[in-house]
Amino acid sequence: MATIACIACSSDNSKPEPETIAAHEGGTYALPADVLATAKPLIGGSLYSEPDFESVSLMHFDTAQLIQLLDTSNVMFFKARIYRNKENYTGYISKAIIPEQL
């Protein structure tokens, strides 16, 4: 049995795919590789330290906040990253407040 490995090459690697671009503070930036999707919440909420409503709230956000979704495996929470005031916050948000487009 022979195994053949194929690698796709492109002469223009400078432009990321459209789904890897996000708007941020008046500009655009390439999303990190660990981001599955981005979304704006339907209502304001809290970013928790653990996937539990009783855990420490790391920060509060409103409907204007762009949220990077990192992991969707938990039944009730997304692992998420929020960029605010030039700092990244990583924690968990309720799946109920994100639009059902994912």
Q: Judge whether 36 lies within some domain.
A: yes
- Adjacent-strand bridge partners of 80: 69, 91
Total number of domains in the chain: 1
Q: Judge whether 9 lies within some domain.
A: no
Q: Judge whether 53 lies within some domain.
A: yes
Q: Judge whether 70 lies within some domain.
A: yes
Q: Judge whether 75 lies within some domain.
A: yes
How many angstroms separate the CA atoms of 47 and 3, rounded? 46
Q: Judge whether 40 lies within some domain.
A: yes
pTM as predicted: 0.71
Q: Judge whether 5 lies within some domain.
A: no
Query: What CATH number does residue 93 fall under?
Result: 2.30.30
Kindly report, residue by residue over 33-68, the tens digit of the pLDDT: 999 999 999 999 999 999 999 999 999 999 999 999
pLDDT of residue 52: 97
Q: Judge whether 77 lies within some domain.
A: yes
Contact 49, 55 (CB under 8 A): yes
